[in-house]
Every structure is written in C-alpha cells, then in structure tokens.
Structure 1
Amino acid sequence: MKRTCFTFFITLTLYSMTQAQPTPVAAPKAAIKPKELITNGHKRIDNYYYLNEREDPEVIKYLNAENAYLEQELAPVKGLQEKLFEEMKGRIKQQDESVPYKEGPYYYYTRFITGGEYPIYCRKKESLDGPEEIMFDGNAMAKGHNYYQLGGYEISDNDELALFAEDTVSRRLYTLRIKNLKTGTVYPESIPDTEAGSFAWATDNKTLFYIKKDPQTLLGYQVYRHVLGTDPKNDVLVYEEPDNQFYMGLGRSKSKKYITIGCDHNGVSTEYRLLEANNPTGEFKVFLPREKGHEYDIVHYKDKFYIRTNWKAENFRLMEVPEGKNADRTAWKEVIAHRPDVYLANMDVFVNHLVLGERKAGLTNIRVINQKTKTDEYLDFGEPAYVAGIGYNPDFNTNVLRYGYSSLTTPNSTFDYDMDTRQKKLMKQQEVLGGFDKNNYVSERFYVPARDGVQVPVSLVYRKGTKKDGTAPLLQYSYGSYGYSTDPGFSSTRLSLLDRGFIYAIAHIRGGQEMGRRWYEDGKMLKKKNTFNDFVDVSEYLIKNKYTSSDKLFAMGGSAGGLLMGAIINQAPQLYKGVVAAVPFVDVVTTMLDESIPLTTGEFEEWGNPKQKQYYDYMLSYSPYDNVTKKAYPNLLVTTGLHDSQVQYWEPAKWVAKLRALKTDKNQLLLHTNMDAGHGGASGRFQALKEIALEYAFLLNLLGERQ
C-alpha cells in the first residue's frame, strides 16, 4: 500500500510539473530582409531596416515576442522585481507637498495624495492659511489614459485663466487648452501639436501665443497668436523658423514686459525675438541677429538687459546693455569677465543682488553679488560631491533667494537664503521613509587619468562597510552628450542597490559640461570618441583600484547615454558583466541621414552631417549598430518605448536583432518595449518605479541574487 501511494504521488507530481511549466519561449529571431543603403559612394546592407514600420503587424509581433522572452528569462527574479518595486515605493512619502512660491497675490504649490500617481496643482490667495484652489488634478485628468503628461501651465495677468498642455500618447505632441480658474470651465478651444511649456499670455488676458510643431519631425517651427473664444483655425502666424536646425522656445520675461521667442542652434547660435506683452498685435523684433558661434541668454530688468554671452568668451561672461541699444554690441558693458577655469551656466537678477550659477572643477556653485555693497559670496555646501542650483524666483523685489541642493547622500533639499544677512533656512528636505540615515553612506570624488592624459572626475557612493577589495558589484553611469552635465544628486531608488552592496559611480566624461565649455567641445562631432574612451578608462581604473572586478562591473546609460553603452561594449566588452541601455541612440548613421526623423536636423552640430564624407566616415567608425560583429558581448538589457519621440523604437529593436544574430556568447540579451510609452518611459510616480525595478532585477539576477 505504501509503495502504491508513493508511486501515485510521484506520478501526480510529475504530471503537475509538466502541466505547470509553460513551453519555453525561444529567443526571437527577426527576419532578415536586406536593404542596400548607399551614401558618399559607400554601400551598407541593413538586414533589419524594415523594423521601422510601426504599423506593420509583423513588427508588433516581433516586439511582443521579445517582451515575452524577457518575461521568461527574468521569471526567476519576478518576486525580486516586485520586492524592489515595493521597496522603492515604500521610501516615498505618499502624501507630500512642495514648498510654495509666491507669484502675484497667490502662493503656488503641488501636492500628492496617498496612492496618487500624479501631482495636484494648487494655489492659495494672499496667505498660506487661506482656502485651497485646485487648478489641476493630475490623477483625475489621467483617468482613461495609459499615459498622461501635463506639459506645464501659464496663468494670465488677472490670475483667472490658465493655459495648459496635455500629452496622452508620449509623443511630445501636446494639446493646448484653456481653463477658467474661477469657474472651473475648460474652454472649447483645443490646439493640437504644440510645444510643452512654450506658451504665453499677453497683458490683455485674452491673447496668447504658442509654438506649433511639425507632427513628422516634431520640431517646433511656427509661432501663432490666438484670441480667446475664437476658432484656432483662424489663428495668426506671427513667426516661422526657416532653418530646421534651430529649436524654438517661447515664454514671458521675468519682468513680464516681454514675450520672447528663443531660437537655438544646438550649441552653435542663438537668436531672440521680443514683443511687448501689452502690444499683442505688434511685431516681434530681433534682440541681436543670429551669428554662427555666438550664443546668448537675456534677462530684462527695469531699463536694461543682462546678457550671458560667449562672445569672445568660451566659458561665457556677463554683459549689460540699455534697453533699446541691445543690437549695438559696442553699447554692451561687461559685468562679469570671462574666466578660463569657471563656466558661467546661468543667472538670476534681483533688485539689489545678482546671482550666478557657475561650474568650477566639475562642481556647481552659487555666487551671490550684492549690487549695493559690491561684495560677493559663494555658498558653502560642505560635501565632496553634490549639486546645487538656482530655484524659481519670480519676484525681483526680494532679498531672499530660493535654491535647491542635494548630494549622493543628502536628499533633495529646498533652501531660502537671505542675501543680506547671509543666513540660509531649510524649507524642505525630501523625506525618505524606511529608516534611511544619510550617515550610513559614504561619497567620494576623485579624478581618473584618461588615455590622452585628461583628468576625468568621478563621483561615487556606497554604504559604509562596503569592501573595496574587488568583491563589490559596481554600477557605472554616464551620459556625456549635448553639454548635459550629470551631477551627483540624490536618488532614493538607488538605495536598493547600495543596501545590497553595490557601489554607484558617475563618470563625468567629455561631452558633458562639468568641466566647462571645452569639456563639451572635446566630446562632440569629430571628437566624440573621447566620450567612449573616457568611460572605458574609468572602468579600467575602478577595476585596477579594486572598487570592483570585471565580473561584477555593470554599466548603464540612456538615450545618447545608450549610444555610449553600445560603443563601450563594442570597444571593451570584456570589462562588463552586464549593461543596461535605456532608449539607446545606436543607429547613428541611418538616423542622421533621415531628415524626416524627429530631431535629426537639429543634431547636425552635435554629431555632424553624414551627407558630408568626413562625418559619415567618423560616425560609421563608432555607430553601435554598424559595428556589431561576431564576438562575445556582456549580458544586455535594452529598453525602449513604441511611441518614443527622440530615439525611435526601431533603433534598439534593430540593434538587438543584429546582436542576437551575430554574438558568440550565451549571455542574456533582452529587449523590453513599453507599448504605451515613449522616451521618458511610463508616466506616474509609481509606474515609473516598475521600470527601474526591472533594471535592478536584471543586474541582481546576474549576481545570482533571487531574493
């Protein structure tokens, strides 16, 4: 009897196992459909070019197959992924509120409610003890949408009307609407395909200006004037940008006197046009005509303009000019001279003070100049690696500066600084739940010599007690493009790695602007490979100095940082255990040859125009997709969004398909496509955490951690 029962148990168990286990999903193989591409007399064959057909059922089937394969491969850490999500979510104070700022008679702030994915935008009149007015409830507005983004709002001069923009696709084509804040009525006008945050009211409280975007290239190229209560079809075109290499922005000056149109040629040229806000039917006038190599920003104050300019000043200097004489550069007067070791990043103006945002030795600084006493002061932050920046200060007539601060160990903090008494007051610090104590973590900052002798700054953080004997896993992050500086700020999600023994390192590589404008210039165009070399050289330094080892070193980057990931695994795949490439720009040559693709034309000054052989050859020598070969690659997780407006989904899809066909290793190669989102990933504060949890689970799985 016992033998019979035992046999029955084995039989039942084996049956249950065979029934419970799903049929393994094989690694997807995209069909090969060769397409010949000829540029500058050079022929390339692209086997996966067809994957750019977003509406093709075969393409969607392939993306879904890749998603199913990823689910199978990461099934062993599905529980860990959920645990990470709950862990990160648990650190967030769900019912939270921003520090209010005063503009006009109102105090404005945002708040979150328990369980709410989106912020609620509120205001109170005259006093913070007054009744709350809810302007926009993001949670209610997002209902019924898989994706939702409020792209800013602008209040009319009489404080009664609000312009606001919405995106429900994640394509960054926003629909502009108008809301009456007194009645709660949303007016029938609906203006599609506009630029987020680029709109402004005239002083009459009925005329507004906005930027229209090309639905194909996604470039803002037209400025229209609209009158409240009229059909948008009758809106008046007031400016059209003739050069598709320029990006446009539109807004109202801090002084409220001017409506401004800003045109920027991606780090090469700037031009502003101004219109007095009390004359909405007037003509926009050029502040200073565009000139190749000249970039400038302006702030209007009383009867003059302050100008941040790189005219005869690579790291920028500050000038001023009387109103009405701005086009005459001989009338410009220098306020702050150029300094070769200090990059003038931004500025703000107050009635008695001038505030400068500067960069020196790779770190941000805030400099306060008292215009009456002619004395100045640099704020002291007291940590080796941090980020500080001028906040939103809409009022000229104040001696209080709002600024933000955080570090690798200090949560995001908002300060008010009395510029007369030099006293600072902490208004709010991000509350991190779950027992966080900054004293449990250590940050470091040092320099690594690159192969050409340049010293590359590195900022890193780890939990106290983490051994630096080569046994710790380390995640190295960088971006390194467009002059965008990756500053060492705080992340509560990162704690999930630090508490599991990870070291987190930021390599401040060339292509960013941490070390000044030259740092950027030496990491773009025909010097782009410096970006990749810097990253690899930092990796080798971290291994050599026993911060980690090659079997525990991971790398992560997104967008142009995803290009970096593709380049480093082609150059030095043996250094990395695993790599996360988020929305990666990896098909550089093909994308930059197609001017119908969003953002292409505006990027020629970043990467070069491949229709010119010199740039074509150089791009082709590093483009990750074009340089995939038969060799071993690290474990790789690639993420994208079907509706990505900046890096089209087919770039990572093609890259993964080619890697899968050619790689000689048995390492994981996973592609995750968010079928409802774009470049920024999922919307909502909690939904976005699920994507981070996926990335972290991928890393931890490679270390054998399942819990």
Structure 2
Amino acid sequence: MTANAPHAASAPIPARRPAPRTHHGDTFEDPYEWLREKDSPEVIAHLEAENAHTDAALAHLEPLRERIFQEIKTRVRETDLSLPSRRGAWWYYGRTVAGKQYGIQCRAPISGPDDWTPPTLSPDVEVPGEQVLLDANAEAEGQEFFSLGSFDVSDDGTRMLWGVDVSGDERYTVRVKDLATGQTLPDVLEGTFSGAHFLPDGTHVVYTTVDDAWRPDRAWLHPVGRAGRDDDREIYRDDDERFWVGAGVTRSNRFLVVESGSSVTSEVALLDAATVAADAEATPRVVWPRREGVEYGVDHAVVDGDDWLYILHNDGALDFELVRARPEAPEELETVLAHEPGRRLLDIDCFRDFAVVEYRREGLPRLALLDYRTHELTEIEFDEPLYAAGLSGNPEWAPPVLRIGYGSFTTPGSVFEYVLPGSNGVSDGAPGDLILRRQVEVLGGYDAAEYGQARLWAPAADGTRVPVSLVWKRSFGEPGTSVRPVHLYGYGSYEHSIDPSFSVARLSELDRGVVFAVAHVRGGGEMGRQWYEDGKLQAKRNTFTDFVDVARHLVSEGYTTPDRLVAEGGSAGGLLMGAIANLAPELFAGVLADVPFVDALTTILDPSLPLTVIEWDEWGDPLHHAEVYEYMRSYTPYENVREGVAYPRILAMTSLNDTRVLYVEPAKWVARLREVGADALFKIEMVAGHGGVSGRYNAWRERSFQLAWLLDVLGVADS
C-alpha cells in the first residue's frame, strides 16, 4: 500500500522522540522506544487509540465476524465431557457447559481394580459418585482474565492443588484443598511458575519461582498445611541466566527430577522422592554435569529388579541416541538405541513393563514400544499420510493400555488406546489393537471425506526441498488446478514442529474456498535436528527465505497469486512475518502477525529485559559479538522497514501483559510501517498475556476477528 492506504488518514500517530542506541560503532536512532513505558498514561492512551482506530477501520467486518463466531459455536458441542483417564481409584475427566467460558474438573470412582475400560459418559446423564473438583468458572468470577497453570491431585486422591493467573503475566497463586473434607487449606503460594505438583505421598508441593528477568530459576518444597512460603525449602537454584529450571516426579515415583536447561545445554539432577521431604540435608545428585551443547533427559525404570536411568542425549549424536546407566554410576553407559541420522529421537517415557519412544522420521512424529530386554522397537502405525500422534494422559505405572492422542488436518482430535502385549485388563480389545475411545464431535454434518490434505515440496534458492502441508475442501477443486486464495502459516524457531492438527475455526475459511498451507521452514524441527540448526543463529535468514521461496513456488505452480495470498505467524513466527514483509512485500496481499517478535535486536541487546539472556542460544549474542549484531541488524523487521515499496495489508495483535514478547515491539513496528504508507492495523488486549484472551468464547471471538480480516484481504469476505 502507498500513502493513500485506506486507513492511514485516521491512524494514531505517536510522537517521534529519537533515542540513540549505540553498539559496535553503530548508532540507531529509535523514534518510538518511549512507547516501552507501560505505566505511562500517554502510552496507555496511545494503545487505546490504536484499538479504537482498528475497531473503526474494521467495523464493516462485524457481520462477518459474527457469522464466523456462530459457525465455530454451532460446530462445537458446548456441553460435553472429556474421555475419563484412570489414576488410582478414580476416573478423572473434564466437563464443559454451554454458555460457560471455562472447563470443570471432575472425577468418579472406578468400579474395581480391574476396571480399565473408560466409562461412556453423557452430558445429560448423572455420573454415579461424581465429584466436582474445580469449577474454573467460579474461580474466574469477576476476573477479566483467567488461566489455570497448575492442577494436580495427590496419588491417594485426598488432596488437590491448583494455580491461577488473573492478569496474563504467567505468575500463579497456588492453593490446596482437602478433598475428603472439602476444606481449602491455609496454603497460599504466590508468585509461582506453572507446573506445581505434589510429591507422591501428598504431604509436600514442589514448585518453581522466577528471578527478576522472569526466568524460572529455583525449585522449592512446600509442606502442605502451612500458610505462605516462609517454611518452604529451596531444593535447587540455577544462577546461570540462560537456564530454565523445572521439576517433576518420575512415573515410577522413585525420583524427584530437577531439570535445568537452555536452548542447547541441559543438566538433570535427582533426589529420592520418598525421603527428600524428611531429609533436610538432601541435595540433588547431578546425572551428567552440564557441558555446552550437550542436551539430555532422564527417566527411570526397573528391569528385572534393578534400577536403570534411561538417558536420551545428543553427545556426538546429532539426532540423539538412547543409553542407560545405573543411578549410582551414570557415567557407565549401555547403548539402547544407537544414533540413526534422520531419526530424531524426541522423548522416552518409562512404564513398569516397557517404555515408549517418541521420534520424528520423514517429517512426521512416530511412536514405538521399547522392549527393556531386547531393545527392540515396535512402531505403532497410523493410516493417514499426514498426522500427529503422541502420548496422552498415562499417569499409571503399569497400565494394560496406552493412551495416544491423534489428529490430522482432516481428522478431529482423537484418543486411541493401544492394547499392550500380555494385557488382559480391557474387555473390548486384544493385544496390539488400536481402539478409538473418543473423537471430538464436529456438529453441523462435518464429513472428513469432503476435505483433502497433502504434502508437497518447494525448492529453496539453495536447492533445499522445503515441505509444505496443504488442506482444502474438495468441492472447490484440487489445489494447483486453478488459482485459489491461500492462507500460508509459518513458525520456524526453537526446533518447534507445526504438525497436522484439526481446527474447527479453520473450516470457516476452507468452506469459503481458501487453501490452508503450512511452510515447514528451517529453524523448526520437522526434518530433524539439522533442519533446526540450519535455521538459527547465523543461519537464521534461511527461515525467512524458505518461507518466501514457498510462497513463490505456490504462485509459480498456479496454486495462487500474490493478491490471493495471506501469511500468518505468531511470536517467533511473528518475526518471520515481519521479515518476509520486508523481503518480498510484493508476494503477499496481507500479513497477520500475532504477538510478533519484530523488534528482536532491541530486545536481545538488553539483558535486563525478561528472558533476553536465555534467547542468546537461539539468536546469538549481539551485545558482545559485533558479527552477530550486524547479522541481526540485517533482518530484524522494525529496523528494516523499507521506503518506496507497497507493503501488504498488515494486522498485528498482542497483549499488554505479555511477558515473552513485549507489547512495545508491535506498537513500534506498526508506527514505523505507517511512516512509509503501509496499511497497518494494531489490536492490543489490555488484560491478557502471550496466549491471548482467556475463555473459549473469547478465544473464538478473537479468532473470528482474525479470520474476518484474512477473508477480507483474500477477497472472499462475502462468500
């Protein structure tokens, strides 16, 4: 768009107050850095003006937004129950109720120790013995934002804890309840990070807290029944600013595991879960001392009566290998699964009689059972060419079945139970059977056969083949046979993979003829560890050029045209959006950037900002290395907005209380884009965090807002 962009005249124009930022002999005059003052009335007034401007500019889309919201709403069974999961003497499950934003956590007693077939529950039929554990709607009463960051029940089923955030800053207040009496105990643990849980005996809570940079740096042990945190014991602390701390108990209940890790290095320490509470002198025993670039994870199994640590690591093994060692001699290793290039080992979960290994091969996630004695893998196979599968809700140490979450672009979220060898604990399956226990019901006559999914390969400029996933509605014709509107999504950082998943909201665009595509660019993890390595640090530009090359391929092969192509990405994917808008603005009609990391260099240069030092392993350290500074300066979106080009329409969305990507980044970026005449709109949630608004109806309305804008840009708003 040029200076006569339709929304330019009434757009808020923040004052220019250049502030110099000098590093490595380079000075950048930042005119909008003053917008960082979150508590300034002037800044708040500007953000509110941005919201008012966006509302006015997109008011004509309100009827479409409402239609899309109703489409989503009518496809979802609003009053429903999840599949019960057995833990101890109870079946645990969640309820949703029409008209209520949040879920309700419930449980019902098992019928007996051999009861492993989950009960079929109906929203309209009372469940015998049901107990409501936590009604999040009651917890959220009177709050504009609500997020449940911790929820756990003790192994014996007598105590419950939950942690709540009501501002969006990902800091949770944990409380404890006695489920036998219904009494809320005096425990109030403020300022915790997510993921608090009980020790196996339920007498203590393990939780983590953050430092001034909002980094989880300490693990604590809290005795249940005590008010506040004064009596809590610090069991682990990591002063390295690059490392995040987390804690958990092995499924065997043998060890309390404390993990500390950066993007490229990790260290695991163990405490005896049965004695740590009573032994005030207990200190974590490190499995392997940290070494730069070595990542590993640990689980525990008992094989023929002997304790073993199963360790997944990348020391000399790019795609990781699996070894095992005795807890008392973790340096004496026995290879279980040798490194195999192209098979990226992701995780191991140990059970009493077997382990489950999760890995990636040929761009898709895989699951396999590991025999402890022979070390043989038995892969669990699925029929679709594109899918995602992983373990789902398996808290028991010795189950007769394995719960697996499954889905694809066309198959709604499903839960299967894989009947394990030697199992006699289920009445409706034999060993090796894969039983579908639940599939999310899509109302309104959804038929998966009416939709198609496929993977194609786009050539990058350096010859690399980039995988691209497509999903479409068949009645509009096969992609590539005619020009179609295309919605192209990308991420490409932290080795995070964008695997096939079903979306009810996406049906609203597919049913209007839009093809949804995912560019699996370098920097993600879809094609193994090397795929990630080739899209980070000084190779980060590959992420951006891959996305542009995918877009060019879709255009050159007749899938779409630039005026019918919209790009979307969020967080680090928002950085991708800002970069491709600068690199190839002519290729896209619109760019949707959600919580976008578009002022990356300013953030990464300032170690006082939340999480900055942690990010140096991903992006590089421009503060101390001139070559990193120059490389990042060449691509960071805010500093590279171009004069004299026609930018695509841009919609940036963020939240005031986001602690991961600060609101100021898109605020500055949009102001700079408007300087060059771009049609850029900015929407900010004033009470929310990195994940956006809370509550399912609010989330549906937010996505309806985005999709209405996207469909308008693609020219199918009236479809």
Q: TM-score range by the shorter chain?
A: over 0.9
Q: CA deviation at 1:649?
A: 0.3
Among candidates 638, 644, 647, match of residue 652 of structure 2: 638
Between 285-294 and 649-658, the greater mean CA deviation after superposition: 285-294
Q: Which amino acid aligns with 1:622?
A: Y
Q: Which amino acid aligns with 1:675?
A: M
Among candidates 204, 218, 221, match of residue 222 of structure 1: 218
Among candidates 39, 50, 53, match of residue 37 of structure 2: 53
Identity %: 40
Alignment of 1:545-560 (within 5 A): 545-560=557-572
Alignment of 1:372-521 (within 5 A): 376-420=377-421, 421-467=431-477, 468-521=480-533
The corresponding residue for 1:306 is 310
Deviations 1:14-61 (A, max 9, x none): xxxxxxxxx998111111011011112211100000000111111111
**CA–CA distance in structure 1, aligned partners of residues 717 and 200 of structure 2:** 60
SS of residue paired to 2:191: strand
The corresponding residue for 1:92 is 76
Runs (4+) of structure 1 exceeding 6 A deviation are: none
Distance 1:57 1:233, change over 3 A: same
Are 1:596 and 2:594 an aligned pair? no
Distance 1:632 1:544, change over 3 A: same
Are 1:618 and 2:619 an aligned pair? no
Distance 1:75 1:202, change over 3 A: closer
Between 136-145 and 186-195, the greater mean CA deviation after superposition: 186-195
**CA–CA distance in structure 2, aligned partners of residues 254 and 375 of structure 1:** 22
Contact 1:200/1:259, CA 8 A, preserved across alignment? no
Contact 1:299/1:306, CA 8 A, preserved across alignment? yes
Deviations 1:199-232 (A, max 9, x none): 3333453222221112x42111122222223342
Distance 1:51 1:425, change over 3 A: same
Among candidates 231, 247, 250, match of residue 250 of structure 1: 247
Distance 1:537 1:598, change over 3 A: same
Deviations 1:335-385 (A, max 9, x none): 111100111111222333332111111111112234467654322222221
Distance 1:384 1:205, change over 3 A: closer
The corresponding residue for 2:183 is 185
**CA–CA distance in structure 2, aligned partners of residues 561 and 632 of structure 1:** 22
Unaligned runs of 5+ in 2: 1-6, 112-118, 120-126, 422-430
Q: CA deviation at 1:702?
A: 2.2
Contact 2:564/2:715, CA 8 A, preserved across alignment? no
The corresponding residue for 1:530 is 542
Contact 1:268/1:295, CA 8 A, preserved across alignment? yes
SS of residue paired to 2:402: strand
**CA–CA distance in structure 1, aligned partners of residues 530 and 348 of structure 2:** 20
Among candidates 159, 162, 168, match of residue 160 of structure 2: 162
Q: CA deviation at 1:531?
A: 0.4
Between 679-688 and 388-397, the greater mean CA deviation after superposition: 388-397
Among candidates 205, 208, 211, match of residue 211 of structure 1: 208
Are 1:676 and 2:672 an aligned pair? no
Q: Which amino acid aligns with 2:594?
A: A
Contact 1:70/1:672, CA 8 A, preserved across alignment? yes
Q: CA deviation at 1:100?
A: 1.4
The corresponding residue for 2:94 is 110
RMSD: 1.7
Among candidates 18, 23, 27, match of residue 34 of structure 1: 18
Contact 2:79/2:97, CA 8 A, preserved across alignment? yes
Q: Which amino acid aligns with 2:407?
A: S
Q: CA deviation at 1:706?
A: 4.4
**CA–CA distance in structure 1, aligned partners of residues 178 and 354 of structure 2:** 36
The corresponding residue for 1:540 is 552
The corresponding residue for 2:701 is 690
Q: Which amino acid aligns with 1:670?
A: L
Deviations 1:438-489 (A, max 9, x none): 0110111121111111111111010013243453100000110001000011
**CA–CA distance in structure 1, aligned partners of residues 441 and 150 of structure 2:** 25
**CA–CA distance in structure 2, aligned partners of residues 688 and 445 of structure 1:** 29
**CA–CA distance in structure 2, aligned partners of residues 25 and 676 of structure 1:** 28
Contact 2:8/2:674, CA 8 A, preserved across alignment? no
Q: Which amino acid aligns with 1:61?
A: A
SS of residue paired to 2:621: coil
The corresponding residue for 2:370 is 369
**CA–CA distance in structure 1, aligned partners of residues 150 and 231 of structure 2:** 24
For these two proteins, the number of residue pairs brought into alignment is: 677
Deviations 1:675-694 (A, max 9, x none): 11111011111110111111
The corresponding residue for 2:333 is 332
**CA–CA distance in structure 2, aligned partners of residues 687 and 202 of structure 1:** 35
**CA–CA distance in structure 1, aligned partners of residues 401 and 204 of structure 2:** 33
**CA–CA distance in structure 2, aligned partners of residues 193 and 283 of structure 1:** 24
**CA–CA distance in structure 1, aligned partners of residues 713 and 467 of structure 2:** 28
The corresponding residue for 1:80 is 64
**CA–CA distance in structure 2, aligned partners of residues 390 and 226 of structure 1:** 30
**CA–CA distance in structure 2, aligned partners of residues 200 and 706 of structure 1:** 47
Contact 2:205/2:223, CA 8 A, preserved across alignment? yes
Distance 1:205 1:418, change over 3 A: closer
Between 451-460 and 398-407, the greater mean CA deviation after superposition: 398-407
The corresponding residue for 1:294 is 294
Q: CA deviation at 1:256?
A: 1.1
| TM-score when normalising by structure 1 | 0.93
**CA–CA distance in structure 1, aligned partners of residues 414 and 258 of structure 2:** 32
Contact 2:493/2:572, CA 8 A, preserved across alignment? yes
Contact 2:566/2:713, CA 8 A, preserved across alignment? no
Deviations 1:131-168 (A, max 9, x none): 11111111111111000011121222432112211100
The corresponding residue for 1:15 is none
Contact 1:274/1:287, CA 8 A, preserved across alignment? no
**CA–CA distance in structure 2, aligned partners of residues 574 and 321 of structure 1:** 56
Q: CA deviation at 1:629?
A: 2.0
Distance 1:357 1:205, change over 3 A: closer
Deviations 1:647-689 (A, max 9, x none): 00000000001111123x5xx3110001111110111111101
Q: CA deviation at 1:175?
A: 1.1
Q: Which amino acid aligns with 2:399?
A: T
Contact 2:337/2:375, CA 8 A, preserved across alignment? no
Deviations 1:363-417 (A, max 9, x none): 1111223446765432222222111112222223234111111111111110001
The corresponding residue for 2:592 is 580
Q: CA deviation at 1:705?
A: 4.2
**CA–CA distance in structure 2, aligned partners of residues 629 and 202 of structure 1:** 55
Unaligned runs of 5+ in 1: 1-22
Between 669-678 and 148-157, the greater mean CA deviation after superposition: 148-157
The corresponding residue for 2:580 is 568
Distance 1:380 1:84, change over 3 A: same
